[in-house]
A and B are shown apart, each in its own frame.
Chain A
Amino acid sequence: MSTAKSTPRERRLTRVERRLIASKNRLSSPWASGIALVIAMLWTVPTIGLLVTSFRGNRRQITSSGWWEALAPANWGSFSLVNYETALGAQNKLGDYFTNSLVVTLPSVLIPITLALLAAYAFAWTEFRGRNILFIAIFSLQVVPIQVTMIPLLTQYVNWGLEGTFWVLWLSHAMFGLPLAIFLLHNFMREIPRELIEAARVDGAGHVQVFLRVVMPLMTPAIASFAIFQFLWVWNDLLVALAFAGNTPEVAPLTARLSDMVGSRGSAWHLLSAGAFISMVVPVAVFLALQRFFVRGLLAGSVKG
């Protein structure tokens, strides 16, 4: 799709020029590659430590020698899957909790994104008095700690008879995600060239049509990047789930089960290293899957004036 779109543009350059650009665009300077590599290492090595740890079975080994020592070939024999076996063990019913996480997460991502797109459009492309003040008020709400909402919201949920259900989790996550979603999507929404919107409006399209046909397709990378984070926050959430739904197998997410594995007195935390990786698989898969929506040049073709 994107190749078809970019063909007319490429014709404007000669083949030599294109090759020149391609080479320049690559990470060609050894300095650049070096820096990127160092950053990548800094960001990865701590996690590798956890990964290695998760395969070191005995809690005692983990706290008596550094994880790098286990990498020496002589010590390979000490690697085992026992932490994973314990974590995935049948009595933990991770499958059930996994379903709960999934059921909690999908609507909790979809709802705030949709509502935020609508709101961001109104902030970016319609005029009304008090627009800026309302926008600032909304994004400032990011600073409200979720903890202060617990008593007021739970009181209402109890009044509605909905505490302990998925409904309040969906609602809560959607509400908490909105300020950032609107802030972030508004930023990308404003980058859409004015000419595109105005051209459509002149052709007689209403705001709803412009929103659906012009804006939405252009917002794909932004939606993807926010979706990743909303997914992540909801998936890794423990606080909202415990506060509004409780730690029961009916609704509690995977994170609740994993954090419980350390036991009442917090002594079995070596299981958490395995648990952390089990819980990480899904967000990483989502990140990889959504990456292909980070397409270059969706907005290209009409340069902003």
Chain B
Amino acid sequence: MFRSTRTLAALAAFVCLAGLTACGSTPTTDGSSTPAPAGSTDDACASYAQYGDLAGKKVTVYATFIDQEGTEYESSWAQFAECTGAEIAYEGSRDFEAQLPVRVEAGAAPDIAILPQPGLLRTMVATGKVKPAPDTVAANVDQYWSASWKAYGTVDGTFYAAPLGASAKSFVWYSPAMFADAGYTVPTTWDELTALTEQIAADGVAKPWCVGIESGTGTGWPATDWLEDVVLRFAGGENYDKWISHEIPFNDPSILESLNEMGKLIHDDRYVNAGIGDIQSIAAEPWTDAGYPIVDGQCYLHRAASFYQTNWTTLDESLVVGEDGDVWAFPLPGLTADSKPVIGGGDFVAAFDDRPEVQAFQAFLASPEWANAKATATPQGWVTANSGLDASLLKSPMDQLAFSVLSDPGVEFRFDGSDLMPSEVGAGSFWKEMTAYFAQDKSAADVLAAIEATWPK
């Protein structure tokens, strides 16, 4: 061939490298100069004066809330933006949990990220990019939240993230009218719940429970909530904490007992799966739809979180959620009538920058003013554990019920365990194996042993 052509491959490699080295040094060109409205001095703005004049400043916020829910959040801080002059640039994404770490590592972290679970906070803190919460935020959290909520936002002794929204998960949805027709009463102890389940099965009008744990890529999570609820009751709060921190193995006998107790209710052909199918159908039924057979009179009980209320109206706009409505919920009973164990979840505000405007916004999000603004902006399906919230602003009765549970000091509250476990377990094997428990009839002992085997060493 030709002498000069042999260089081509080498040249190709060279341009390749040249292309790469050219990457290193180009100055950032961010000529954003958005004119902000001058802070008005209305009364409405009086409570915002503490955050100072932030005209021309911009805070980027990244979270999971999209569509309608995203709009509600944006309007909750619209007044803040107007009064301080700051621009709050919000971006919501369903892909948040995959994208956030990418952005953080690539140097494109948002100023503020609203993390849907404390496990992600730990991962993010490990990158070294999360800023500790400023004193203003800590002061608000100390004043309006319980110590345990502050602890969820704390990693290795440093407080990073104030809680934002919350949810209470230990509810059983039912139809008050159907209960009245059949003469059932709301159970207040676990034994009463078991007795009611047997009673309904014996009456034979419909099966007691309807369950669905399909959730696309997250299939199985509703079943983990179920189990956590039972663990908190049968193994107790202390063992629950040890179980989550892996001080006792995942398949500790107390956990096996709990899973068996849960199985007595919803892994039994006599009790499930009303209007849907057999036990296997639990794994196929979307959790979003699973409660609906109640409306058709095909089942009586459906355990789901407070936020499930929006699912009713998505399915059928005409449904009324309320004590005298079509569907309502009672707290999943404890072992005794005076115990009130509750599983819940929540999201947390982490900051990747400590500019004054970012910290001001953080402090605002931790304040009762924001909670009230959010309550005003939300028709249904949002609640917080911020005790400064004016409960009368919550528009839906379910949100009020959930708030009363979350702010009740008599409640034995525990955070959703799968959110606190390492993601290999909490967002992996726990979901998977609970799914196999229903779909493939895997034994309770095998399920727990399989999860234990995946716990990172």
Stretch of B4-12, B196-204, B257-265, B391-399 with 4 or more beta carbons under 8 angstroms from chain A: B4-12
| Known interface pairs A266-B215, A267-B314; A155-B68 also in contact (CB < 8 Å) | no
Closest to A150 in B: B102
Residues of B contacting A68 in the complex (Cβ-Cβ under 8 angstroms): none
Residues of B contacting A268 in the complex (Cβ-Cβ under 8 angstroms): 67, 314
Q: Nearest chain B CB to A297's CB is how many angstroms away?
A: 36
Residues of A contacting B215 in the complex (Cβ-Cβ under 8 angstroms): 266
Q: Kindly state whether residue A63 has any CB partner on chain B within 8 Å.
A: yes
Q: Specify which of B5, B67, B93 is in contact with A127 (CB 8 Å cutoff).
A: B5
Per-residue contact bits, chain A 237-269, to B (CB 8 Å; 1 contact, 0 not): 010001100111000000000011111111110
Q: Kindly state whether residue B106 has any CB partner on chain A within 8 Å.
A: yes
Q: Kindly state whether residue B47 has any CB partner on chain A within 8 Å.
A: no
Q: Judge whether A129 and B95 touch: CB under 8 Å.
A: no
Closest to A270 in B: B314
A100 to B380, CA, bound (A): 32
Residues of A contacting B92 in the complex (Cβ-Cβ under 8 angstroms): 247, 260, 264
| Known interface pairs A161-B26, A161-B30, A266-B288; A243-B311 also in contact (CB < 8 Å) | no
Closest to A126 in B: B5
Q: Specify which of B12, B23, B105 is in contact with A156 (CB 8 Å cutoff).
A: B23
Q: Judge whether B316 and A58 touch: CB under 8 Å.
A: yes
A:80-113 near B, CB below 8 Å: none
Q: Judge whether B288 and A265 touch: CB under 8 Å.
A: yes
Q: Specify which of B30, B89, B94, B103 is in contact with A259 (CB 8 Å cutoff).
A: B94
Number of interface residues of B (CB under 8 A): 47
Residues of B contacting A259 in the complex (Cβ-Cβ under 8 angstroms): 94
A128 to B68, CA, bound (A): 59
Per-residue contact bits, chain A 141-160, to B (CB 8 Å; 1 contact, 0 not): 00000000011001111111
A160 to B27, CA, bound (A): 6
Q: Judge whether B102 and A60 touch: CB under 8 Å.
A: no
Q: Kindly state whether residue A1 has any CB partner on chain B within 8 Å.
A: no
Residues of B contacting A247 in the complex (Cβ-Cβ under 8 angstroms): 66, 91-93, 95
Q: Nearest chain A CB to B25's CB is how many angstroms away?
A: 8
Contacts across chains A and B counted by CB atoms under 8 Å: 117
Q: Judge whether B69 and A263 touch: CB under 8 Å.
A: yes
Q: Judge whether A246 and B91 touch: CB under 8 Å.
A: yes
Residues of A contacting B30 in the complex (Cβ-Cβ under 8 angstroms): 161
Q: Kindly state whether residue B409 has any CB partner on chain A within 8 Å.
A: no
Residues of B contacting A151 in the complex (Cβ-Cβ under 8 angstroms): 102, 105-106
Closest to A249 in B: B91
Q: Kindly state whether residue B99 has any CB partner on chain A within 8 Å.
A: yes
Number of interface residues of A (CB under 8 A): 37
A150 to B106, CA, bound (A): 8
Q: Judge whether A267 and B311 touch: CB under 8 Å.
A: yes
Q: Judge whether B102 and A260 touch: CB under 8 Å.
A: no
Closest to B27 in A: A161
A157 to B107, CA, bound (A): 10
Q: Judge whether A129 and B1 touch: CB under 8 Å.
A: yes
Per-residue contact bits, chain B 1-38, to A (CB 8 Å; 1 contact, 0 not): 11001101100100000000001111111100000000
Q: Specify which of B6, B89, B307 is in contact with A265 (CB 8 Å cutoff).
A: B307
Q: Judge whether A264 and B102 touch: CB under 8 Å.
A: no
Q: Judge whether B106 and A266 touch: CB under 8 Å.
A: no
Q: Judge whether A159 and B108 touch: CB under 8 Å.
A: no
Q: Nearest chain A CB to B388's CB is how many angstroms away?
A: 25
A299 to B328, CA, bound (A): 72
28 cross-chain CB contacts under 8 A = A59-B314, A63-B286, A128-B1, A130-B6, A130-B9, A134-B12, A150-B102, A154-B103, A156-B23, A159-B23, A160-B23, A160-B26, A242-B95, A243-B102, A247-B91, A260-B66, A260-B67, A260-B94, A263-B67, A264-B64, A264-B65, A264-B67, A264-B94, A265-B288, A266-B288, A267-B288, A267-B310, A267-B315
Contacts A151-B102, A154-B106 known; list 14 others, CB within 8 Å. A59-B314, A150-B106, A151-B106, A154-B108, A155-B107, A158-B28, A158-B106, A158-B107, A159-B23, A159-B107, A243-B102, A260-B70, A263-B66, A264-B69
